[in-house]
Structure 1
Amino acid sequence: MLVCVTGVLGFIGGALALDLLQRDVKVLGIDKYDGLGADPAKDKRRSQLLIHPGFGLITSDINAENLRHSIREHLNGQTISICLHFAALPGVRGSGLIRDEYEYNNILGTENLLSIMNDLDVGRFIFASTSAVYGDESQPFKENLKLKPARSFYGHTKQVGENRVLEWAQSGNPNRSATVLRLFSVYGPGMRDDLAISIFQKALEAGLPITLFGDGSDSRDYTYIDDVLYGIDLAMRELLNRRTGAEIINIGTGHAISTSELVHNMQKSMGKNTAILYHSRSEEEMLSTEADLTKAQELIGYKPQWDLVRGLQSMLTPALS
């Protein structure tokens, strides 16, 4: 089986590609790679992936005019069983200041990729969405909630992306189906430097103060990367057996952890303490996120295995040694 993974040199896309390759699934990866030295984390993932004979890499912007041709060239007659779309401009805070960039990457990029998959007769599509689409709805978040406007522009672009994917899957083609995965605060080794756990880890390692935006009572459903990969695998299996239609599935733990509790757990795991500074909370940030996993459990059999304490120990212990 051959699958296409966009954003393949990113945190989740890279982990997914490695997981698939280790299970003898061929991967055609697409990533806007800026060359050696521009992003050391991407350099490392690229090296790890390229040693696998079943991996092919297309270095391209998701909106590039020649992407369609590049994919056809790499396929050389092969067919893509499923496309997993993880390429996106991430980040909640400040997304409203650069709306054009978010629209270009997250909306236009998704539309272009769907068009390409349509031309290639690819009938299975997984879209990586986010808990940020929920806004301030009642919790735990259920997939069938009628979404209100997202608090952040990033969340808005993911709402639009979801709609484009659902429209694509429900366009009347009997051989087309899609799954939207709403991922909740994914963390683990290799996660982005601008996310809370990475920022707190660096501060603790350096003995510097930790800055919290708000009073520390805001909470997130932190999901360890291994649970996310497990959820993606289950979703792929379900999708490949589904002829048509679209589904939206939450991937989280079903438990919200406050930022204060997160910091306490990190201090305990690392055996370090530091001062905590408090600043005003950004209006783009949600107060809390918590996934309702009823549908994930019933539809794909998803049951998370990693709680926060175990996940932090797995992530932080190698960094301390």
Structure 2
Amino acid sequence: MRFLITGSAGFIGFHLARRLLADGHQVAGVDNFSSYYDPELKEARNAQLERHHNAFKVHRLDLQDGSALTRAWEEARPDVVVHLAAQAGVRYSIDHPDSYVGSNLIGTYNILEAARRFKPRHLLAASTSSVYGANTEMPFRETDRAVHPVSLYAATKGATELMGHSYSHLFGIPTTFFRFFTVYGPWGRPDMALFKFTRAILAGEPIEVYGEGKMSRDFTYVDDLIEGIVRLAEAVPQSAAAEGDTLSPVAPFRVVNIGGGTPSGLMDYIAELERALGREAIKTFLPMQDGDVTATFASADLLENITGYRPMTPISVGVPAFVDWYRDHYGI
């Protein structure tokens, strides 16, 4: 099939594009190579994809430019669109709210307008576990109310889900939103904890441990996430697939968690990293940051009911895989 992936030079977009190319699909990438983090890492990912020069083409554009997006879409003629591009990061949203309004809301609006015009077979889009916000009942289920975001980042991602539902209802666009849970692995984002911790520990510098180290996360290894996306791409929302399905009563639209349902404590995560590096971290314990939550915990039941798949990679496997990549990529 023909796929269009927004954010193709990003962490998850790169892994998804590489998997789809390996499976024999045609992939058109869209990315603006923003400077939110090191553009050289994005260029390195993109160079890996461009080795498949007969099956991959990147369009360097910003999703806020609707006309440029339309031209790329017309050229790619995608069967399936996976919208991953976004301004990420909870803490960054406190000081740079305008970036989230532009990238997440306007960018997604332009994707939806293009989907309205060109009618892909299936539109899939990334959301986040952050939309569960102040919810305290665990595990987080897709049927839970998610109306108390504690960061602007979460609020914009929740808004894109609502926007997607309205377009799906009005224009019959089959749409799936998936909520990610702390994705990590090789080629990861430098602004995320694993990358920052690894860099600091190898440099003999202290790491900042927020929430006094008492937080927990449903860490999801990137290969597991990609497997979930690939399987969901084939599960076009048409009729309820299983008990607990979130299929809308008025639209071909659903929301699905992609997480393993096996949260780990932050200190356990750090301990796995110390083992993989063979070094003990110098830890600076700090209070919770604004916009953060104490714990995330996915229910993976709906994902498994729809696709037969549940993320299973433990941090004891995923963290060393990241360290191996990091040492190789940076020649350490």
TM over 0.5: yes
What is the SS of the residue equivalent to 2:62? coil
**Structure 1 residue 265, shift from structure 2 partner:** 1.4
**Structure 1 residue 209, shift from structure 2 partner:** 1.4
Pairing 1:173-252 to 2, within 5 Å after superposition: 173=172, 176-239=173-236, 245-252=252-259
One of 279, 297, 303 as aligned partner of 2:304: 297
Structure 1 pair 34/144, CA: closer, same or farther in 2 (3 Å)? closer
2:67 matched residue in structure 1: 66
1:112 matched residue in structure 2: 110
* Deviation digits for residues 138-175 of structure 1 (CA, Å, limit 9, x no counterpart): 111000011132111101000001111111112253xx
**Structure 1 residue 318, shift from structure 2 partner:** 4.1
**Which sections of structure 2, spanning at least 5 residues, go unmatched?**
241-250
Structure 1 pair 65/127, CA: closer, same or farther in 2 (3 Å)? closer
Pairing 1:78-93 to 2, within 5 Å after superposition: 79-93=77-91
Structure 1 pair 245/140, CA: closer, same or farther in 2 (3 Å)? same
| Partners of 2:211 and 2:294 within 8 A in 1 | no
* Deviation digits for residues 262-311 of structure 1 (CA, Å, limit 9, x no counterpart): 11111112110132111221121111001011111111212213111111
**Structure 1 residue 186, shift from structure 2 partner:** 0.3
Q: Give the Cα–Cα distance (whole angstroms) in 2 for the partners of residues 212 and 136 of structure 1.
A: 21
Is structure 2 residue 285 aligned with structure 1 residue 284? no
Q: Give the Cα–Cα distance (whole angstroms) in 2 for the partners of residues 274 and 199 of structure 1.
A: 12
1:139 matched residue in structure 2: 138
Opposite residue 21 of structure 2, the aligned amino acid is L
State the identity as a percent. Answer: 28
Q: Give the Cα–Cα distance (whole angstroms) in 2 for the partners of residues 283 and 272 of structure 1.
A: 30
* Deviation digits for residues 17-43 of structure 1 (CA, Å, limit 9, x no counterpart): 0110111110111110369x9611111
* Deviation digits for residues 218-243 of structure 1 (CA, Å, limit 9, x no counterpart): 11110000000110011011128779
Opposite residue 226 of structure 2, the aligned amino acid is L
| Partners of 1:255 and 1:290 within 8 A in 2 | yes
What is the SS of the residue equivalent to 1:171? helix
What is the SS of the residue equivalent to 1:214? helix
| Partners of 1:62 and 1:105 within 8 A in 2 | yes
| Partners of 1:135 and 1:149 within 8 A in 2 | yes
Structure 1 pair 191/318, CA: closer, same or farther in 2 (3 Å)? closer
* Deviation digits for residues 22-74 of structure 1 (CA, Å, limit 9, x no counterpart): 11110111110369x96111111121111211111111000114224422552
Structure 1 pair 73/80, CA: closer, same or farther in 2 (3 Å)? closer
Report how many aligned residue pairs link the two structures: 315
| Partners of 1:140 and 1:290 within 8 A in 2 | yes
TM-score (ref. length: structure 2)? 0.90
**Which sections of structure 1, spanning at least 5 residues, go unmatched?**
none
Opposite residue 58 of structure 1, the aligned amino acid is H
Pairing 1:23-38 to 2, within 5 Å after superposition: 23-33=23-33
| Partners of 2:237 and 2:254 within 8 A in 1 | no
Structure 1 pair 109/319, CA: closer, same or farther in 2 (3 Å)? closer
| Partners of 2:237 and 2:253 within 8 A in 1 | no
TM-score (ref. length: structure 1)? 0.93
Q: Give the Cα–Cα distance (whole angstroms) in 2 for the partners of residues 177 and 112 of structure 1.
A: 17
What is the SS of the residue equivalent to 2:120? coil
Higher mean C-alpha displacement, 9-18 vs 199-208: 199-208
Aligned-residue CA RMSD in angstroms? Answer: 2.0
Higher mean C-alpha displacement, 162-171 vs 290-299: 162-171
Higher mean C-alpha displacement, 224-233 vs 253-262: 253-262
